[in-house]
Structure 1
Amino acid sequence: MTTAAPAGSRALPHPARTEIRLESVLHALSDPVRLRVVRELAADGGELPCSHFDLPVTKSTTTHHFRVLRESGVVRQVYRGTAKMNGLRRDDLDALFPGLLDSVLAAARRQADAG
């Protein structure tokens, strides 16, 4: 069951672990901008605000990319004060798709290193 935001709150809806689908995760990771966000979150290991990311797209497109990542179950977004914080849902992804995230991140790192 998708975790819905309570009425009047700033909480964002996220899919429950059981609702995360492989095809949605793969779609989310297939975009270079979204993959860049995931790589930065994985490298940090914690939560980062949206403003941390210097992406080569407009603010509205950035919002779209974060929504795709959240709705697919790749990231969890929470408000902390006025900042929207993003964290990788590594535990959920590793439990559902063992090795997938590490394989994708390693492939992305090799590709980036190759230039």
Structure 2
Amino acid sequence: MPHPTRDDLRLEAVLHALSDPMRLRIVRELAADGDELSCSQFELPVTKSTSTHHFRVLREAGVIRQNYRGTAKMNGLRREDLDDLFPGLLDALLAAAARQEARLGG
């Protein structure tokens, strides 16, 4: 699975990846857990192929890192890379998403 190098991460790609509610939900769950989660641990209200698409977009944007552990595809947030390249961005987006969820009840 191709992952962009740290130097290849681009703000536009990260923002695009995080602009989708399902992808933002995945990132919020990874941030809350603080560790790697397998794809099967996410309960997304979409088909498996759509879920795969969302994980691919996040990986190709450099937001997450995926690797296989046995037969499980593990997902981890690339927080250190994102925080170093775009200081405060991830925390601001996660906080804004939490406020929006509280405001909209969703």
The bucket for the TM-score relative to the shorter chain is over 0.9
Q: Which runs of 5+ in 1 are unaligned?
A: 1-11
1:30 and 2:19 are equivalent in the alignment = yes
Q: Report the residue type matching 1:43 in the other structure.
A: A
Other structure's SS at 1:43 match: helix
- Per-residue deviation, 1:86: 0.2
Distance across 2 between alignment mates of 1:44 and 1:74: 15
TM-score normalised by length of structure 1: 0.90
Distance across 1 between alignment mates of 2:101 and 2:68: 31
1:76 to 48, 53, 65: 65
Q: Report the residue type matching 2:101 in the other structure.
A: A
Distance across 2 between alignment mates of 1:66 and 1:100: 20
Q: Which runs of 5+ in 2 are unaligned?
A: none
RMSD value over aligned CA atoms?
0.4
> Which structure carries more helix by proportion?
2
1:85 to 74, 85, 88: 74
- Per-residue deviation, 1:31: 0.1
- Per-residue deviation, 1:24: 0.2
Write out the 4+ residue segments of structure 1 that deviate beyond 4 Å after TM superposition: none
TM-score normalised by length of structure 2: 0.97
- Per-residue deviation, 1:74: 0.1
Larger radius of gyration: 1
1:15-54 aligned at under 5 Å gives the runs: 15-54=4-43
1:67 and 2:49 are equivalent in the alignment = no
